[in-house]
Amino acid sequence: MIVRREIEERTGRNISIGAVYATLERLETKGYVSSFTGEPTPERGGRAKRLFRVEAAGTRALQVSEKTIRSMMAGSKSRWESV
Amino acid sequence: MRRNSPPAVACWFLDSVVPVRYRDALLGDLIEEYTLRAESTSPLTASRWFWSQACRSVASVFWSSLRSGDWLISMSIAMCVYIAMGMLKFAADVTISKLLAPEQTTYVVLAPVVFLTTTAIGGWVASRIRRGATIFLALIVMITVAVLIDMRVCAIPVPWWYQFGFLTLGPLAVLMAPVIVGAFVPGDAQPAK
């Protein structure tokens, strides 16, 4: 829930909880995040919460992505400025 | 329905299609946020939000299952159950024709009973093996009935609503059987997968 809200607040886009879980599961398969199950609570209809943690491989992949995006943005910016 | 309780049908819908790996977590998140929204806005607004999340989540989950190949397992189970259902129906038809020697009218009356019973048993069996298989089984039943109607296999002249009943009630029996059995048999509500 927190992940979905965080994405929604930062991007301004209304995303589905199913999309969040589907993505997190793909990331977990790749070893970028790990998850564990919390205790069931009455507020959640007696259903357990799933908590995620970013792994070292995930942090590295994120750094590479950030570097790639920055590099591409720098290239795009120089093109916009020259137009 | 209790105040601030999420739409039961939407919950059941998600419960049927979301993979067991994150079913509890996903539904728990939705229920928790629904309660918060119902308190801060209104139960109606929160219900609308819940339904929109349920429908959009199913699309994401379905697409994710297609990518991971999960659907192949569900589809295979559904096909196996469908074949077993066909054999059961054939055995029932043969038994009825031998024991009752039905005339056309008797057959017209008994055919839906046999059909709905076998589809309901099939739906329940499929849900016990794998919940996702129930959706595929319902689709297979619907497509088969539609094809049979289109091919005019039935030699007995029957009204359109009779055929329409097979087309709609068949898949519905597949989907509803696990829910009904789960409501009446304690411990049957949470199948293995």
- Say which CATH number the domain at A74 has: 1.10.10.10
pLDDT band per the 50, 70, 90 thresholds, residue B17: confident
| Structure ipTM over 0.85, yes or no | no
- Name B137's Cβ contacts closer than 8 Å, sequence gap at least 6: B78, B81, B82, B122, B123, B126, B174
Nearest-CA neighbor of B62 among B51, B78, B46, B75? B75
DSSP state of B151: T
Q: In angstroms, what CA-CA distances link B82 with A15, B59, B93, B141?
A: 36, 25, 16, 8
Task: Domain of residue A76: give its range.
Answer: 2-82
Residue with tokens 């607040």: A9
Q: Which residues of B touch A19 (CB under 8 A)?
A: 56-57, 60
- Judge residue B174's burial from the number of C-beta atoms within 10 Å of its C-beta, 0-12 exposed, 13-18 middle, 19 or more buried: buried
Are B6 and B30 a contacting pair, CB within 8 Å?
yes
Length of chain B: 193
What's the rounded mean pLDDT across residues B32-54?
Answer: 92
Q: How many CB atoms lie within 10 A of CB A62?
A: 12
Average pLDDT, chain A: 88
What's the rounded mean pLDDT across residues A41-53?
Answer: 89
Nearest-CA neighbor of B70 among B78, B80, B62? B62
Rounded Cα–Cα distance for residues A6 and A25 (Å): 18
Residues of A with CB under 8 A from a CB of B: 1, 4, 16-19, 21-22, 25-26, 37, 40-41, 43-45, 47-50
**Which residue, among A8, A14, A17, would best test binding to B if mutated, counting the most B CBs under 10 Å from its CB?**
A17
Which one of A19, A21, A22 has the shortest CB-CB distance to B25?
A21
What's the rounded mean pLDDT across residues B111-116?
Answer: 90
Which one of B24, B29, B63 has the shortest CB-CB distance to A17?
B29
Q: Comparing B14 with B125, which gets the higher pLDDT? A: B125
Residue A83: per-residue pLDDT = 62
Residue A69: per-residue pLDDT = 92
Are A50 and B25 a contacting pair, CB within 8 Å?
yes
Number of domains comprising chain A = 1
